[in-house]
Amino acid sequence: MQIRALDLTDDATAAAVHRIGRAAYTVEAGLIGFDGIPALGESLAEMRGRALHWLGAFSGDGTLDGFLAWEEEAAVVSIDRLCVDPGRFRRGVGSMLLRHVLVEMFPGRAVEVTTGAANAPAVTLYERLGLTRGPDFSPVPGLTMASFGRAAANAACDGGRGSSDRV
């Protein structure tokens, strides 16, 4: 499996990301009992217009198997979405993407992510890769979200800025 940056200005790449995202969020909606996940109703144009960085995991034949998108806010890397093609579930795609971001791209940086609290596969993944569960919250009635994070490794030594010089 190869991990590389995604260019959503490319029509085929954007269409694949959109398709995988909708399929993955449809599965999550079933797991958490809530079909109002914002990304489920997001058009291709809206997705492309998001100010996110995109990373994809590709199988040996060049097929996009999953992706991760994030934004950087001051000292925090905020993971916006981690989606795997349902046909590629349970093959380590999500783990590989998240591990790449945590270890290879942003070692020592503060990281945060949320998921539906009833999304057991995502909750297990985040905990297994060392993210600490924070408080649950309900952004809308009928939906409970779980928050996860990792503090910056050098927060006490650098004024709380994290390791922003590594970006």
**3-43 per-position pLDDT tens digit:** 999 999 999 999 999 999 999 999 999 998 888 888 888 99
Is it the case that residue 47 has pLDDT exceeding 70? yes
Here the tokens at position 111 are: 């990281």
- Domains along the sequence of the chain with CATH: 2-166 (3.40.630.30)
Tokens of 100: 């790449």
Rounded to the nearest integer, the mean pLDDT of the chain is 89
In this predicted structure, the answer to whether residue 90 has a pLDDT above a threshold of 70 is yes
* Of 105, 83, 102, nearest in space to 151 by CA: 102
Beta strands 145-150; 53-58: pairing state:
unpaired
